[in-house]
Amino acid sequence: MQITNVRIVKIDGDDRLKAIASVVFDDCFLVSDLRVVENDDGFFVAMPSKRKRDGSFKDIAYPLNNDFRQELERKVLLAFESVTETRAISRLESGESQTVRPDLLSVEEFGFQPKPSN
């Protein structure tokens, strides 16, 4: 199954929720209401969910393996970056072949390991 389109709607005025995403698979199946959320550790993609009677939430659509989850999150966050001009993931980590200015990156993000302090 291939992700063929990602649509992002930016959300303003919320501290954590940054966008709502819709993802099209194989040009024939749409899953909507994925949420781009920012927390202390950075950005992540929350799956669509519904509230249960006891007040808790249950995901109603989700990847069945970690590889596909990572690919889905990567594509949604890259689309979020292009729409909002907010850096959600490192372009180096994403494997995207775009020009990256090394002066804007930390030493680790540029691919160098800092020397251990003695």
Query: Number of folded domains in the chain?
Result: 1
Q: Does any domain span residue 110?
A: no
Q: What CATH number is associated with residue 68?
A: 3.30.1120.40
Q: Does pTM surpass 0.75?
A: no
Interval 40-93: pLDDT, tens: 888 999 999 999 999 998 989 988 888 999 999 999 999 999 988 878 775 435
What's the rounded Cα separation, in Å, for the pair 54 and 118?
55
Task: Summarize the chain as % helix, strand, coil (round to 5).
Answer: 20, 35, 45
Q: Does any domain span residue 111?
A: no
Q: Does any domain span residue 48?
A: yes
Q: Does any domain span residue 117?
A: no
Q: Does any domain span residue 112?
A: no
Q: Does any domain span residue 115?
A: no
| Domain with 49 in it | 3-104
